[in-house]
Structure 1
Amino acid sequence: MDPAQTFGTGKLNEFLEVDELVDRIGLTEQELDWRKHFIGFDADDERRLADLEDLLRDNQTAIADDFYENLLGYEGTRTVIERSPKDVNALKQTQSAYLVSLSTGDYDQEFFANRARIGKLHELLDMPLKHYIGQYGVYYDLLLEQLNERIQEQVIAEIETWAAEQNETEETEGGLGGLAGALGFGGGSESQVEDDQQDGLEESFEATVRDAIDDGLHDVLSLLRIINLDMQIATETYVDSYAQDLEDSIERRKRLARDVEEDVQGPIEELHDASEEIAERAVAISEHTESQAEDTNQAATELGELSAAIEEVASTTDAVSEESERTERLASNGASAATEALEELEQIEAATEDVAKSAAALEERTDEIDAVLERLDEVAERTAVLAKNAKIEATRSGADGSAGGDASGNARTMGVIAEEVESFAAQTRRDLESIETAVEGVREDALETVDATDRTVERVDRGADRVRDSMADLEEIHDAARETAARMDDVAAATDQQARNVQRAAATVEDVAESADEVAAAAQSVAAASQEQTASLESVGEAVSRLTDAEPGTTRPVYERLG
């Protein structure tokens, strides 16, 4: 088998379809004809390349060795070589076959399809394009070195041929005379010498040299042209791979965009609706909070006024407590005076009973007082005065006792009355002993005295009852005043505590009002943020929608845009 057909047949070929690759990069016969015409590659180039086969075969091993020696000197290209399924020796054999194939191909679609396969294999090895294209520079050095030697040999051969022809024509010795003349060193015919002195080189010699060099350079140009076509096709495979990756990426992006749009659309709509609801609620919260702040401020004002009123009540309570304590003292004093008055009245009652007994005795002994009628009249008068004074004093004592009057004065008055009554009784007993004969005359007066005494006793009894009632009332008043004073102390303490609580409540309400103001401001901020969030969500939704807005087929392959 032709070595040109054996390279590039490694294991990586199972990972690619050459026909599909050729179709994808548009490598038709018409495209190849255009490319050849564009760079001037024609049948003459094919002939010249065929002439270079021996040169390439003879130097293929040396060129392959030098080629890989250079590639292995760089870490990047060495890493790519290490990824190849072939070892370096196998790669050198492949390289040698490739070199020979440059001069043995038919340069048709199949030939360039094989070139596309080779380029794709390099791309599958992840060889960067700069390495792949850059290695042609190494090729140029190695190939041109051999072509330069070939051109020099061709020029020398043409010069020798020209010299031989000149020797045959001029029959010069060894042909050196004609060559020397052509180079302007003398010799030759006189006309030739004159022409040489004018042009420098003999015209036919110069033409021979020029033709030889031109022919050699055309060989170089033919080799460069086929390498250029090779580079174009290889580059197309890289561009195709990039385009495939880009198209796959675009397709993935489109699928992802569609998936994202489908997945995100519902949540975005829900989030949009939720954001609108949050914004509305935030506005409502802000309004309620502002109203709450106003109500709280009003409550703080009212609590301040209530605190002042409670302080005033506390002050009044203190005054009432003091007055209750004074009332308690007065009631206690009144109760003591009533007790003393009651004791005096009891003594008067006892004395009155003694008077009644004496009057009874006097009635019994009225016969004895007839002789001393005048004295009895005087005694009756004194008794009437004393009774009157006692009645007046009893009445006054009753009145003063109920009103809490001067108990000591009443006691002295009642004492005087008692002494007078006792003196009267003693004198009466003495007088009765001496006036037993005057009983009838005195009986009526004695009876009147008894009646008066009974009335006095009754009045004293009534006064004593009233004093007892007054005393009971005073005791109740005293107890009530004491209880009132104690309760007023409790009220004062509770009022002070309430005042302190109200002050603390007022301070708390003020703090709440400030917090409500802050909450209102925060709620407004939340509402604004929610509105911004809603707008952002709308933008996100539009952006997600734009991911799939591009129409299919509007993205041209990269190699077309670079083409």
Structure 2
Amino acid sequence: MQPEETFGNGGLNGTFDVDDLVDRIGLDDGELAWRKEFIGFDSADERRLADLEPLLRDNREAIADDFYDNVLQYDRTQEIVGRSPKRTDALKQTQQAYLVSLATGSYDQDFFANRARIGKLHELLDMPLHHYVGQYGVYYELLLSRLNERVQQQVVDAIIEWVDEREAEAEDSTDGLGRFVSALGFGRRDADTKTGAESGDTGDDAARTVLEESFETTVRDAIDDGMLDVLSLLRLLNLDMQIAVDTYVDADAQRLEDEIERRAALAREVESDVQAPLADLHTAGETVAKRAESISDQTETQATHITSAAQEINDVSDAADEIAHAADEARTESARTERLAADGVDAADDALDELGAIEDATDRVVTDIDALADRIEEIDDIVDRLDDLTQRTSVLATNAKIESSRAMGESGAGAGTRNGSETMDIIASEVRTFAQQTKADLADIARAAEAIREDTAAAVATADETVERVETGTDRVRRTIDSLEEIHESAQTTTARMDKVAAAADQQVDGVESTAQTLSDLSESADDVASSAASVAAASEEQTASLRAVRDSVDQLTDEVETGIDANQPDRPV
């Protein structure tokens, strides 16, 4: 298969309609004629390109290999080539066919439609436009290097032809070869070194000038002819580039139209979807504005109340400070009460001990009184015995006196008898006196014993009363001790609770101070909220106005989009 037969037969061709593409970019005969005329491409260029066919055909493989060697050395372009359904060898075959087609084309609508198809294929491979246009720079180097050799060869051929013509003319002149050599400039150095008389005649100089101009014209004509070949190729490549760019622009225009249509549909949907919400937002905005204004008023009232509450909290804080101070004093007094209660318990214990000692002493007194009573009873017994003795002594004395009188009566009055009688009288008198004295003493003893008995009874009664009172006092002291212990325990409990009260009071003070600070912050925050609410109200009013503007803008946007779509339906994209 020849390269020309593989040109443009890739797998992506079925993804688009070439005729539709040509119509969209407006590539008709009139447009092609104008573009050719604009860059100066004419039938002479077509003839020159036809003359380049052997050059392009002979170099097509080398140019295609060099082209893809350059393309595949870059990651970006290598990635694009990798997306092509063709392998590299097939792509090189396509490139060879493209090169040959530059010199064998009809350069009509079908030719450039094929160029449009090639540009579209590159666009479908997502090759960026600057990559596609950049490839022409590679073409320029690869093609112009061959054309440069061709131009040089054309110049050499023209010189050879010019020399052949001059040699034919030189056969008619004996010095023709010398003039030919001089015309080419050879030997001029020798002629210049001669003296003015030896430098030749004016006829030779004129001939040399004619020969030099003829040679220069020949060389220039050959170079111009070669450059015209280059220009013809560049003009065709320029037309080719224009068509390729059109396909990219068409793709962008298609995407733009699709986007415009999508946006138009979206605009219509937005208009349909937004109208009701905008109306609701407008109503809600007005409601929000009113409520924001109400919130602002309420917030200002709240700020006033919070400020008042903060002042009251400050008063409570002062009262809490006083409570804390009173709690501290109460705690101190409670501690003092606890100490006093403890001291009272100790003193009561001591008093109880003393009462115990008194009770013991009282018990001993009672015991001693009981012993004294026993002794008094013994004295009573002795007194009774002595009284009995006295009675008998008195009786004895009486009896002795009686007996003495009787004895004197019976015996007469003798001296011995009188002495004995006198003696008996004396004894009787003494015994009577003793008995009387003893009786008197016994009466005194009895009275003293009775007094002692009475005193002892009173002492016993007093001791009993004392014991009873001591027992009563002891019971009371015990109850006092129990009460003092309860007071001590209560004082301890009170002290502990007062510690808790003091701690709670301190905590209350801290809490009140914190609450006061919080209320102060709330007051400031309320002021800020009031200010913000006022700003919200203003912003809500602005929002309401903005919503009206948005609604109008949506209407205008929808109208403009629909109008723009109608206006952007020309015969072909611009």
| TM-score strictly above 0.5 | yes
Say yes or no: does 1:529 pair with 2:529.
no
Shift of 1:68: 0.7
Once the two structures are TM-superposed, the CA of residue 12 in structure 1 deviates from its matched residue by 0.6
Q: Tell whether 2:108 aligns with 1:98.
A: no
| Other structure's SS at 1:549 match | helix
Name the SS of the counterpart of 2:32 in structure 1.
helix
- Work out the CA distance in 2 between the residues paired with 1:58 and 1:299: 104
Distance across 2 between alignment mates of 1:151 and 1:300: 103
Q: Secondary structure at the match of 2:117?
A: helix
Deviations 1:344-381 (A, max 9, x none): xxxxxxxxxxxxxxxxxxxxxxxxxxxxxxxxxxxxxx
Q: Following TM superposition, by how much is the alpha carbon of 1:285 offset from its aligned partner in structure 2, in angstroms? A: 4.7
Give runs of aligned pairs for residues 483-494 of structure 1, distance below 5 A.
Answer: none
Q: Does 1:220 align with 2:230?
A: yes
Contact 1:105 1:111 survives alignment (8 Å): yes
TM score, norm. by length of structure 2: 0.55
| Aligned 1:45-124 pairs, distance under 5 A | 45-124=45-124
Look up the match of 1:8: 8
Residues in 2 aligned to 1:85 and 1:297: alpha-carbon distance in whole angstroms: 81
Other-structure match for 2:181: 180
- For 1:190 and 1:80, the matched residues in 2 are separated by 72
Could you state the TM-score of these two structures normalised by the residue count of structure 1?
A: 0.56
Question: Separation in 2 of the partners of 1:516 and 1:78?
Answer: 67
Contact 2:288 2:537 in 1 (8 A): yes
> What residue is the counterpart of 2:554 in the other structure?
544
Query: CA-to-partner distance for each residue in 1:455-497, whole Å, 9 max, x for gaps?
Result: xxxxxxxxxxxxxxxxxxxxxxxxxxxxxxxxxxxxxxxxxxx
**CA apart distance, 1:126:** 0.8
Say whether the 8 Å CA contact 1:162–1:205 is kept in structure 2: yes
| Matched residue type, 1:59 | N
Given the superposition, is the C-alpha separation of residues 543 and 191 from structure 1 closer, same or farther in structure 2, using an over 3 Å criterion? Answer: same
Considering Cα pairs closer than 8 Å and 6+ residues apart, tell me whether 1 or 2 has the greater RCO: 2
**1:160, distance to aligned residue in structure 2 (A):** 1.3
1:194 lines up with 2:175 in the alignment? no
Contact 1:184 1:196 in 2 (8 A): no
Give the Cα–Cα distance (whole angstroms) in 2 for the partners of residues 538 and 169 of structure 1.
98
Relative to structure 1, is the Cα distance of residues 539 and 159 closer, same or farther in structure 2, using a 3 angstrom cutoff? same
Tell me, which stretches of 5 or more residues in structure 1 are unaligned? 302-503
Superposed, 1:434-445 pairs within 5 Å as: none
Shift of 1:543: 3.5
For residues 458-497 of structure 1, the aligned pairs below 5 Å read: none
- Structure 1: distance between partners of 2:183 and 2:98: 43
* Superimposed CA distance per residue, residues 389-413 of structure 1 (whole angstroms, 9 cap, x where no aligned partner): xxxxxxxxxxxxxxxxxxxxxxxxx
* Structure 1, 22-31 or 281-290: larger mean CA deviation: 281-290
Structure 2: distance between partners of 1:171 and 1:221 = 40
Q: Note the 1:418-457 alignment, pairs <5 A.
A: none
Query: In the alignment, does 2:285 pair up with 1:275?
Result: yes
Q: Secondary structure at the match of 1:41?
A: coil
Deviation for aligned residue 1:153 = 1.2
Instruction: Classify the secondary structure of the residue corresponding to 1:127.
Output: coil
Deviation at 1:529?
Answer: 3.3
Aligned to 1:333: none
Query: In terms of mean alpha carbon deviation, does 256-265 or 37-46 score higher?
Result: 256-265
Summarize the Cα distance change of 1:166–1:155 in structure 2 as closer, same or farther, 3 Å threshold: same
Partners of 2:136 and 2:307 in 1: how far apart? 89
In 2, Cα distance between equivalents of 1:175 and 1:68: 55
Paired residue secondary structure (2:27): coil
Equivalent position amino acid for 2:555 in 1:
S
1:208-233 alpha-carbon deviations (Å, 9 max, x no partner): 21111111111111111111111111
Larger radius of gyration: 2
1:300-311 paired onto structure 2 within 5 Å: none
Q: Which amino acid aligns with 2:109?
A: Q
In structure 2, the residue matched to 1:23 is 23
- Residue correspondence of structure 1 range 363-374 to structure 2 within 5 A: none
Aligned residues between the structures:
356
8 Å contact kept, 2:84–2:125: yes
What secondary structure does 1:264 align onto?
helix
Task: State how far apart, in whole Å, the 1-side matches of 2:201 and 2:296 are.
Answer: 121
How do residues 127-526 of structure 1 correspond to structure 2 at under 5 angstroms?
127-171=127-171, 179-185=180-186, 193-195=204-206, 198=209, 202-287=212-297, 523-526=533-536
Aligned mates of 2:307, 2:47 — CA distance in 1: 107
Q: Does structure 1 conserve the Cα–Cα contact (< 8 Å) formed by 2:102 and 2:236?
A: yes
SS, match of residue 558 in structure 2: coil
1:28 CA displacement: 0.9
Deviations 1:26-79 (A, max 9, x none): 111011111111111111100010000001000000011111111111121111
User: How many Å apart are 1:535 and its aligned residue?
Assistant: 2.6
Q: Any idea what SS the aligned residue of 1:107 has?
A: coil
Q: Is the contact between residue 179 and residue 208 of structure 2 (CA under 8 Å) also seen in structure 1?
A: no
Distance 1:109 1:175, change over 3 A: farther
CA, structure 1 residues 62+266, in 2 after alignment: closer, same or farther (shift >3 Å)?
A: same
SS at match of 1:79: helix
In structure 1, distance between residues paired with 2:22 and 2:239: 15
Q: How many Å separate the matches in 1 of 2:102 and 2:175?
A: 41
Aligned residue in 2 for 1:466: none
Query: Is the contact made by 2:158 and 2:222 (CA closer than 8 Å) also made in structure 1?
Result: yes
